[in-house]
Amino acid sequence: MNTTSNETLTTVTQQSFIIHPNKILLMILYRYGLGFVFLIGFSGNFASLVTFMSPILRVMSTGCLFFMLAMADIFYLMISIFEFVEVGIVQEGIFLSVYDSICRFRWFMKGFIRFCSAWILAFIAIDRWLRTRFPYKTNQWCTRRNAFIAVSIAAVFAILLHSHMLSSQLFGGLFPGTPSIACGPIDTRSPYVFFFFVQWQIIQ
């Protein structure tokens, strides 16, 4: 298994350098690309928050779901600021003394938010379908309470699914400052390397 883990890590490392051969180009993409994403993303999502906080929309399940989706997007953008600074501005690993803890927090939160956002979008589609297909059941099924319950269930599954990233024995800094492999398995000889780089990519 150690041989498999080492081969997996070597392959991932080689692929990373193939994907990111030009550091200057990578820096430009992160600095200006993410900067543009932040500008559009923050302004658009804050506008959504203002819209769905209105008294008329916030009493509807759809409005609540869109509000939670905007909040999730804002949190994801805030977490991405670290990569913007590390890769696009400083161009090397930062906060190295606590890098392992930062890795665990960032990767867990990014996975958690992606999972929840995907399910919130699914719940919005289901909510709209129920309102169209069963209009006489709208007041019973499409309520804020049911929307919160559905999102809470998704959040619990997201925590369980991504909890391995919070383990200080498994996850931490790998190659600080290098996109896609800045964080990963701490012990490069453990079976977790194969799980994270191969099986986890399929699961998530």
Average pLDDT along the chain:
87
Instruction: Identify whether the C-beta of residue 202 lies closer than 8 Å to the C-beta of residue 18.
Output: no
The CB density around residue 161, as the number of other CB atoms within 10 Å, is 15
As a whole number of angstroms, the distance between CA 124 and CA 69 comes to 10
- What's the CATH number where 69 sits? 1.20.1070.10
> Looking at residue 17, what is its pLDDT?
46
pLDDT digits 0-9 by tens, 81-133: 999 999 888 888 889 899 999 999 999 999 999 999 999 999 999 999 999 99
Q: Which residue has the tokens 């009493």?
A: 59
Q: How confident is the model at residue 8 (pLDDT cuts 50, 70, 90)?
A: low
Task: State the pLDDT at residue 88.
Answer: 87
Taking Cα atoms as reference points, which of 199, 204, 198, 173 lies closest to residue 186? 173
CA dihedral 7, 11, 17, 19 (to 10 degrees): -170
pLDDT band at 18 (very low <50, low <70, confident <90, very high): very low
For residues 160 and 111, give the distance between their C-alpha atoms in angstroms, rounded to a whole number: 11
| Alpha helices, H only, 84-141 | 99-133, 138-141
Cα(145)–Cα(64) distance, rounded to whole angstroms?
A: 10
Is 0.75 surpassed by the pTM of this model?
yes
Residue 12: domain span: 2-203
End-to-end CA distance of the chain: 23
Task: Convert the pLDDT of each residue in 45-63 to its tens digit.
Answer: 999 999 998 888 888 899 9
d(CA 183, CA 171): 7
DSSP codes of every residue in 75-92:
HHHHHHHHHIIIIIII-S
Percent of the chain with pLDDT over 70: 89
pLDDT for 174 beyond 90: no
Residue 181 pLDDT class (50, 70, 90 cuts): confident
> Rounded distance, CA 182 to CA 179, Å?
6
% of the chain exceeding 90 in pLDDT = 56
Number of separate domains in the chain: 1
pLDDT band at 7 (very low <50, low <70, confident <90, very high): low
| pLDDT given for residue 122 in this prediction | 97
The answer to whether 142 and 62 are in contact (CB under 8 A) is yes
How far is the C-alpha of 13 from the C-alpha of 141, rounded, in Å? 49
Residue 30's pLDDT is what? 86
